[in-house]
Chain A
Amino acid sequence: MNNLDSSILSLVTFIPAAGALLLMLIPRRDRDIRIFALIISLLTFCLSLYLPAYFHRTQVGFHYEVNQQWVTSPNIHYHMGLDGISLWLVLLTTFLTPLCVLISWKSIHERVKEFFILLLVLETAMIGVFLALDLFLFYFFWESTLIPMALLIGVYGHGRKIYAAVKFFLFTMIASVFMLAALLWLYAKTGSFDFVTIQNAIHSGRVPGFEAAAPWLFLGFFVAFAVKVPLFPLHTWLPDAHVEAPTAGSVLLAGVMLKMGTYGMLRFNLGLFPEQSRSNAPWIMILALIGIIYGALVAMVQPNMKKVIAYSSVSHLGFVVLGIFSFTQAGLDGAMFVMLAHGVATGGLFMLAGILYERKHTYEIKDMGGLATPMPTYATFFLVVVLASVGLPLLNGFVGEFLVLAGAFQNRPVYGILGATGVIWSACYLLWMYQRVFYGKVTHPENNSLPDLDAREQLALWPAVIAAVVMGVAPLLWLNIIDPAVATALVPFAQVASKVVGQ
C-alpha cells in the first residue's frame, strides 16, 4: 500500500493519456474503440476510488505527495498532491468521464477514434490541473485542456461550432497569459515554482518587491480564473461553447472545467494572496451576485434548452464565488459542495439534453411540448435532475446553496438576502422550462413517437441521479473531508468560523 501511495496520483493522472496513446494504435473499428475508451475511463475511476478510501483525515497538508525534479533550471518539479479541496474534484472528473463515453456511444459516428483520444487526453489534463502543486505544472496542465476541448467543440459540435471553439480558445488563452506573467514574476523573485514554498515565502515576507506587485499578481491570477468560472461580465464565451459542443464536451466543460476556475481561486488567489483577496472581496462578491441573478434572468428567456442550462451554470457558479469570497467556513464548505453538486446535476442536465437531441436534432423548446407522454422514464430522470439543480432539499443542490448563503449572510446580510433570491430565480427558469417541455398536451404530433430511454442511456443517467440523492441526504460523507481542508485554507483569514461539521 505504501508504494501505491506515492504513485497513485501519477497513475490516476496519466492512465487516460496512456489509453489515448494506445487508442492511436487500435485499428478503426468503432465498437472496439468505444469499449476500450470505456474500460480506460472506468479503470481510472476505480483507481481514483483509492484516494478517498485511504485518505487520513487527521493528516495535515497534502496527501499522496510525489515530488521529483523535472527540470533543474528553471527549478521545475513534478510535484503533485491532494487535499480535501482537490480530492472530490478529481473524483468528479473520473466519475463524469465514463458517463461521457457512454453518452457519446451513438451520437459520435464519424472519426470516432480521434474523439475518444481527445476525450482521454482532456481527462488527463483536467486531473492534472487539480493535482498539480507546482505552479509551472499547474499552468502546463491548464493550457493543455485548451486544444482538446477546442477541437471537440469545433469538429464534433454543431451550429456555429467554429465560432464557439475559437471564441472559447482565444478568450481563455488571452486571460491565462496574465496568470503566466504573474507566476513568472513569482518565480523570478523566489526561485521556485513550488506552491508550498512560495506560500511560505509570501507569508514570511521574504519576497522582495511583493507589496507593490501583489495587487497585480492577484489580478493576473484572478483574470485567468474569472474567465474560466465564468464570472460576469467575462461569461459570454460560455453560452456559445456549451450550446455548440457535443454532449460529452458540454458535460465535461460544465461539469469539470468551470470548476478549474473556482478551484484556482480557492487554491491560488486565497492561498497565496490573502490580503489582496480580502481587499478585493467586495467587488468580487458583487460581481458574483450579479452573476447569480443576471444568469438566472437571462436563462429564463432563452428559447434554446441548452442555453438555459448554460446560463444556469453562470448562475450556479456565482454561488460558488460568493461562497469562496465570504471567507467563512460555511461559505467555503458550501462553495466546494456546490461545485460538486453542480457538476453532477448540470452534467446530468446536459446528458439529458443530448439524449433528446439524438432523437429530435433540435434544442429549441418550442419544438418540444408534452414530452412526458411519450417518454415518461426520461421525464422522471429529467425531473429529478432539475430539482437537484433548483436546490430542493433531499437533493444535493440544497446543501451547497444553503451553506453558501449562510456564509454570505455572515459576511454581509444583504449579500445573503440577494443571493437567496437566486434560489427563487433558478426555480423559475428551470421549472418553467420543464413545464414547457414535458407537461401539457403533446403540441407537435411527431413527438408522439419518440422512443423512451434505452438501457445504455439509463446506465449513463442512473449514476448521476443516485449521486444527486446520496449527496443530498448524506452530505457529511463529502463534507467530512472538505471541512478540515477548508479550515486550513481559512487560517490566514482568521474570521469567526461557524462550525458546520460537528466533531
Chain B
Amino acid sequence: MPDLRMSGARTRTPQPGDEVQKEHSGRVGRVILIMAVSLGAVMMFFPFLWTVITSFSSGLGLSAKPSLIPQQPSLDAYRILFLDLPFARIIANSLAIALVVTFAQVLTSALAAYVFTRMPFKGRGVIFALYLATMMIPGQVLLVPQFVIMKDLGLIDNYLGVLLPSIATAFGVFLLKQGMDAVPRDLDEAAKLDGASHFQTFLRIVLPNTGPSIATLSIFAFMGSWNNFLWPLVILRSEEKQTLPLALAGLQGQYTTNWDVMMAGSVISILPMLAIYIFAQKYVVRGIASTGIK
C-alpha cells in the first residue's frame, strides 16, 4: 500500500537504473537551478533588506536614495515603538485575535469543504457558487453595513466584534476543498465499510491527509488577521484594545512621514508572520497528519 502521508518532504526511494538519469540532468541542471533560484531570492530579499536598513537609520531625508548602510545608525525608531507604545499589550491583542481567527477559519472551512468534496446533493454546485460569491463584493462596500450590524449586536469596541466577520471565509472553503479533492476516495470507502459516519471519516481520514492545505490556510488566515487595518479601525475605540496596524498608523503624523519608524513597524509586523509561516510548514502539517489513521 503506497505511503500517502502528505509530509513536507518529498522522499524518493532510489531504484536501480535511475542513477544514470540523475547523472545527466544532474550537474548542469542543478547549478542553473540554484543560480536562478538565488537570483530570484535576491530580488525578493533586497527590498526587505532596505526596509530593515532604513529602520536602523535616523535623521532627515530618509526617503531619498536608499543605501545599504544605515545613515546615522540609531535605534531611535525601535525605541519609539517599544517605549512610546504599550507594545506588549498591542502584540498580545493582535496575536490573540489572529490565533482565534486562524483556528476558527480552519475549522469552519474544513467542515464546509468536506461537504463540497464528499457529500453530494442536488444544488450543491449552486451553494458552492454562493460561497464563492461572497468573495466578489469588495470589503469597502461591506464595511458600513457590517458596522451597523455590529452596533446592533452591541459589539462595538469589543474583541468579538473584530473577530466575527473573519471566522468564515469562502477562500478557506475553496482552498480546503481543492486539497480534500486530492485525497483518494479509496480511504473513504475503506472507512465506510468499517461503519464510519461522515463526521468520523472527516475527522480521521480526510482531514489528516489535507495537512499542506490546512497549513497554507493557517498562514493566510493569520496574515489576514494580523494585517487587518480598516475593520479594527472602525470598530475598536479603547486604547488598550489596539492592534498592531492601528498602533503603527497612529505614529504617522498628518504632514510628515517618519520613514524609519514606519519601516521599523513593518519589520516588527513581519517577524511574527515569518515565524508562523515556518511553524506552519513544519509542525502543522506533521501535527494534522498525525491525528489520522492511515
Check if A and B associate: no
Q: Which residues of B contact A (CB under 8 A)?
A: none
